[in-house]
Chain A
Amino acid sequence: MIVMKDVSFTYGSSGSDNGLHDINLHIKDGETILLCGESGCGKTTLTRLINGLIPYFYEGKLTGEVFLNEQEVKTIPFYQIAEKVGSVFQNPRTQFYNVDTTSEIVFGCENMALPVEEIMERLERTTDNLQLQGLLGRSLFALSGGEKQKIACASADAIHPEIVALDEPSSNLDISSIRDLTGVIRYWKNQKKTIVISEHRLYYMLPYVDRIIYLKQGRIHKEFTRAEFLCLRSTDLKELGLRSLNPFGLPVESEMKIKNTQLSLKNFSYSYEKRGPESLDIPELKLPQGEVIGIIGNNGAGKSTFARCFCGLDKAAKGIIDYNGKQYSAKQRRHISYMVMQDVNHQLFTEDVLSEILLSMEGQDEAADESCAKEILEGLDLSAKSEIHPMALSGGEKQRVAIGSAVACGKEILIFDEPTSGLDYRHMLEVANNLKHLQQEGKSLFLITHDPELIYKCCTYLLFLEHGKVLWHRPLDKKAEQLLHDFFEEECKAPKNGQLVDW
């Protein structure tokens, strides 16, 4: 049982925007609670109050009382909370402490100093229940994001907690990994654990939640039962800034421009010597120019290899791209293409937004450059921010700065790698608008994404990859819509690798 009485929290360091105010909450044993709301509404902070990271790890001003099973959190040492509450976090890459999977699963148990026999027994139970047989004893660095998240769940499960707190666990996952995560949550629910989960993607959690708590600006704004929540219309959801409850059957919103220019790819191939299956083999492919081309396919189908090859990032990349009548080899492609990475932080180097754009320019004539840079910023609605440090911007704004820097380089082809992972509705919309804007400017865009809402919002053409080969590619018309729908359906339902991931 979790009880919060008049809880307020403000972070010590960075402003007060993500804090909480006057939270009163009573969570019964065995209840499943979904926390939702726009980015910065305080849902992550609320999970931190439950797993003890507040007040023990994140500093700030905490007033009011939080009780776990009638004991006040402040009076329980952190490591005892860790025995009661299992945590799963947003980023699969930064939540494991060990290098190999087995050590990570038993890590919590080892810290509790359980006898080795007991740990081995728990390891076996967790492995069976979460279907992890193939993942034991492997290097965590060699796993996919979805697999890492599974290990994180397993590590939380092995502690045998009464409560599980999950903080946006699906943010970095593809559709089939989300399906696996759903399985884990169903298992925990069957075990009568109390589950508190904060999420942007609502569709996968809905069948399991008992109550939905909608937060706004750090306050509990509304509370719904599942039945009430399901009655909400899509316009209501948009007003609340929430993602669609059924993202797989949305209407297509963009239309292809009828233009005859094409870019063509020849002998596109790449094979990893060591890493095995993911390779690329495209003898010939013609794609329209000036469209938003969605690249879809399963995990490991070669989507990111395709993108890296396209940008000439890998030395071993082969093949030629014919663009506007010019031939580009892998190395030359770097001049015309640019990839906006999933983690945009890697792509911003300077102290303010304007110099970030200027950095991409030749630097022959500084005055001309500066006026040109200002024009680019104007076009991206960033003029007001030109003096600000890029790291102080929001995620969507950072992305626009990265786009601006690419435009300033004179890049014609832009590739986006999962631009909306972990974004709420409003920010997803912002990204979609960025993409549409670039398309109007005449750029050719490629979009690798697992986000169905984004695909329906702005893609005009689809390219489907499987095992490094092009299975089909066509404008996003009725036929493609059907194929896309079938793909999503299969991803949501079919067990991966013939494994039965159903409890």
Chain B
Amino acid sequence: MQTQYDLSMGFHLDPRTKLLLMAVVSTAEFLYGHALFMIAVAIIPTILLISNKQYRIGIGFCILFLVALTVKEKQAFIHFNMLLNMIVVFLVGVVLRLSPTFAMGSYLIRSTKASEFISAMGRMHVSRKITIPISVLFRFLPTMGEEARAIKDAMRMREIRFGTKKFWRNPVALIEYRFVPLMISVVKIGEELSAAALSRGLDNPVKRTNITKIGFTGYDMITLSVSIALLAVTLFAV
């Protein structure tokens, strides 16, 4: 049994390592340095995403980031008109500064198990009052996605969309139609979810055990040292 479950556990990181890397990656972007340094920053989430089999997001992120970086580098040589230039600068800035954080976030959410997260936070002596709501997010985000898709389908069938006569009369209504049903179902799901979790004893005050072994392994050491070395080299040597 043990072995069967461990099969899925090739390369994996402790949730704390992931959080640290996330912090490092998101601060590093704001140093906004040399192109090589930025590539070094972007490599970390790309490799992690690919290690977690999130190929589409990983490759998509990589391409988007490289395109934005190229535009940024070449921008001085191209003369757009002012408005266009502003938009380009803005978009490039957003992609370069924020997309690595989102990529790391996506990796963190998809690769971490909720109970693993609770235990890891427990080791850091973070109060359960904080960890439990955060851990619900792991479960909640995909569910919200499912709900949002169903609502989108429903709207398409009713032909409630951009550009119709109805729409121009009250454009804000479109947002309302999308969010009101979503809120209603999210509240309901949240309640049922909490009821289910509590009826499995989530509020038990004893220190819970965890069948997924958490704790720092060689992988954490390797990932951390490689990431730090990568950043240090590009930051100081270039």
Contact = CB atoms under 8 A, between A and B. Distances in A.
A102 B5 contact: yes
Contacts of A362: 165-166
A97 B114 contact: yes
Interface stretch (A105-113, A209-217, A472-480): A105-113
A-B pairs, 4 with minimum CB distance = A82-B201, A79-B204, A94-B192, A95-B196
B181 A57 contact: no
Interface stretch (B38-46, B61-69, B93-101, B149-157): B149-157
A426 B135 CA distance: 41
Given A94-B188, A110-B210, 19 more contacts: A57-B194, A57-B198, A83-B201, A89-B196, A97-B114, A98-B115, A99-B138, A103-B115, A112-B206, A116-B209, A124-B1, A136-B4, A338-B158, A339-B153, A343-B185, A346-B147, A346-B150, A347-B157, A360-B158
A335 interface: yes
A299 interface: no
Contacts of B203: 78-79
A108 B154 contact: no
Interface string A295-318: 000000000000000010100000
B207 interface: yes
Given A99-B113, A123-B1, A345-B184, A113 B211 contact: no
Most chain B Cβ neighbours within 10 Å, of A97, A98, A345: A97
B79 interface: no
Most chain B Cβ neighbours within 10 Å, of A87, A93, A99: A99
B212 to A, nearest CB: 7
B139 A96 contact: yes
A53 interface: yes
A120 B157 contact: no
B15 to A, nearest CB: 13
Nearest to B204: A79
Nearest to A408: B158
B198 A78 contact: yes
Contacts of B35: none
B181 A97 contact: no
B interface residue count range (under 10 / 10 to 19 / 20 to 34 / 35 or more): 35 or more
B178 to A, nearest CB: 8
Contacts of B159: 334-335, 360, 409
A348 B196 contact: no
A159 interface: yes
A89 B154 contact: no
Contact of B195 (A57, A141, A347): A57
Most chain A Cβ neighbours within 10 Å, of B147, B166, B199: B199
Interface of A: 51-53, 56-57, 78-79, 82-83, 85, 87, 89, 91, 93-100, 102-103, 106-116, 119-120, 123-124, 127, 136-137, 141, 155, 159, 311, 313, 334-335, 337-339, 341, 343, 345-350, 359-360, 362-364, 391, 405-406, 409
Contact of A409 (B138, B158, B201, B210): B158
B127 interface: no
11 contacts: A53-B195, A79-B202, A102-B5, A159-B200, A311-B157, A334-B156, A341-B150, A341-B153, A346-B185, A347-B158, A406-B158
B220 to A, nearest CB: 20
B162 to A, nearest CB: 15
Contacts of B113: 98-100, 103
Given A111-B200, A347-B158, A363 B180 contact: no
Interface of B is mostly: helix
A359 B169 CA distance: 12
B143 interface: yes
Nearest to A411: B157
A89 B194 CA distance: 12
Given A78-B203, A95-B193, A113-B204, A137 B5 contact: yes
A53 B12 CA distance: 37
Nearest to A82: B201
A113 B202 CA distance: 11
B136 A97 contact: yes
Given A110-B208, A349-B177, A51 B199 contact: yes
Nearest to A156: B200
Nearest to B145: A141
B153 to A, nearest CB: 5
Contact of B181 (A102, A159, A348): A348
Nearest to B206: A113
B139 A99 contact: yes
A52 B189 CA distance: 19
A97 B199 contact: no
A345 B181 contact: yes
Contacts of A78: 198, 201, 203
A387 B131 CA distance: 43
Contacts of A119: 209, 211
B151 A346 contact: yes
Contacts of B157: 311, 313, 334, 337-339, 347, 406
Given A339-B157, A346-B151, A359 B166 contact: yes
B200 A155 contact: yes
A341 B194 CA distance: 25
Given A313-B156, A334-B157, A91 B192 contact: yes
B211 A106 contact: yes
Most chain A Cβ neighbours within 10 Å, of B1, B136, B165: B1
B8 interface: yes
B160 interface: yes
A334 B154 CA distance: 11
A82 to B, nearest CB: 4
A346 B208 contact: no
B26 to A, nearest CB: 24
A296 B206 CA distance: 49
Contacts of A334: 156-157, 159
A79 B5 CA distance: 27
Nearest to A349: B177
A98 B180 CA distance: 26
Given A334-B157, A362-B165, A56 B198 contact: yes
